[in-house]
Amino acid sequence: GQNIDQPTEMTATEGAIVQINCTYQTSGFNGLFWYQQHAGEAPTFLSYNVLDGLEEKGRFSSFLSRSKGYSYLLLKELQMKDSASYLCAGVYDYKLSFGAGTTVTVRA
């Protein structure tokens, strides 16, 4: 819903950096969440961007450009445990609309 698009899969090496891009419909948009979800488990909250700019939280950073309808999640110093699905979710009319998720595979 809400035309939230993100790549299906990404692969990177342990210790590297990966950037997951997300584009979304700007009409009715109120904010953007990133969640991490390991297979068979619940999504866990990573970040929330309402204003333009970069939010840094340890190895993870998230960026938002409201005018461009664009966000990214940056994962630094990748670890094997970062292998998971990363969900971009926009807030529209008090509801979360999720993208299909990006499966990140970290290789040794």
State phi, psi for 80 to the nearest 5 degrees: -60, -35
Binding site for other proteins (CB under 8 A): 30-31, 33, 35, 40-45, 48, 87, 89, 91, 94-96, 98-101
For the bound state, the minimum distance from the C-beta of residue 15 to other proteins, rounded and expressed in Å, comes to 28
Residues 6+ apart with CB under 8 A from 95: none
The whole-angstrom separation of Cα 101 and Cα 30 is: 20
Pick between residue 74 and residue 96 the one whose CB is nearest to other proteins: 96
For the bound state, the minimum distance from the C-beta of residue 54 to other proteins, rounded and expressed in Å, comes to 18
How does strand 60-65 pair with strand 70-75?
antiparallel
The whole-angstrom separation of Cα 57 and Cα 85 is: 18
Pick between residue 16 and residue 50 the one whose CB is nearest to other proteins: 50
Pick between residue 14 and residue 41 the one whose CB is nearest to other proteins: 41
For the bound state, the minimum distance from the C-beta of residue 95 to other proteins, rounded and expressed in Å, comes to 6
For the bound state, the minimum distance from the C-beta of residue 64 to other proteins, rounded and expressed in Å, comes to 15
Pick between residue 26 and residue 37 the one whose CB is nearest to other proteins: 37
The whole-angstrom separation of Cα 65 and Cα 44 is: 23
3-state secondary structure of 99: coil
